[in-house]
Amino acid sequence: MIHPTALIEPGAQLGANCTIHAHAIVTKHAVLGDGVVVHPFAVVGGDPQYLKFDPATASGVVVGAGTVIREHCTLNRSIYAGKNTVIGARCFLMANAHVGHDCEVADDVVLANNVMLAGHVSVGSFTFVGGGAGIHQFVRIGEGVMVGGLTRLTKDVAPFLMVAERDEVPGFNLVGLKRRGFSRAAILEIKDCYAHVFSGGDPRPLAAAKLAAGVQSAEAKRFLEFFAGGKRSFARPHKSSDETAEA
């Protein structure tokens, strides 16, 4: 359904059963999957906030099926020709959330009100980013992370963790893991890997050594593999991992 006063530029691609509310803007650079909902005054596919950007660049924004984009959200297109800013399926972007150019937001992600993703940020599936959180450019957030409201992130956050304040990790996201139906064995193995990786020193070689020694669950493997990527340092706990909640 296209409501009166919605602006959809020629060249925009909309899947089946999309709803574009009044005063929403979907530019010619946007590709929306089936069932996407865009609320009033949101702008999907706007130019990136990059001073050297050439508006003639052929780039875009791709939004996955079933994603809801609430009022005043802004989703900027890529700065690179032939590239896209990507939002996955079944995401929920609350009012005033901003997704900068060249971000990659995976499936089933929630961005609460006023979340600010700078350029080139990646967010893993089933992650919740609390209201007013600000994420620095090129930061990676793994899957299943709980980002507290008003958090400031300048470092990568490994999967299944909680993070708050400025790059502070109070523990791993036990509630989120249980809600997703992770087995007790997998949770215990992730907890063991968490304690090992954050036992002191650079997490990269510690994670690599733990991975080489072998882990049983796919979830623990994904946790460890995260540390092999990226260019930034990692958010880490300030307290001993022994003080995290018991599984």
Query: What are 44's strand-pairing partners?
Result: 26, 75
DSSP string spanning 174-231? HHHHHHTT--HHHHHHHHHHHHHHTSSS-HHHHHHHHHHH--S-HHHHHHHHGGGS-S
Taking CA atoms, 177 is separated from 7, 12, 145, 240, in Å, by: 40, 38, 10, 21
4: buried, middle or exposed (CB in 10 Å: 19+, 13-18, 0-12)? exposed
**What torsion, rounded to 10 degrees, do the Cα atoms 171, 177, 179, 181 define?**
-160
The DSSP secondary-structure symbol of 137 reads: T
Tell me how many degrees the CA angle 107-110-114 measures, rounded to the nearest 5: 135
Helical spans, DSSP H, in the chain: 174-179, 184-197, 203-213, 218-225
**What torsion, rounded to 10 degrees, do the Cα atoms 209, 210, 215, 220 define?**
-120
Q: Is 238 marked active-site?
A: no
Q: Catalytic: which of 101, 131, 142, 156?
A: 101
Q: Is 101 marked active-site?
A: yes
Q: Is 202 marked active-site?
A: no
Q: Catalytic: which of 119, 130, 131, 176?
A: 119
The DSSP secondary-structure symbol of 232 reads: S
Q: Catalytic: which of 98, 102, 130, 156?
A: 102
d(CA 164, CA 90): 25
Q: In terms of Cα–Cα distance, which of 79, 74, 109 is closest to 95?
A: 74
Active site residues: 101-102, 119
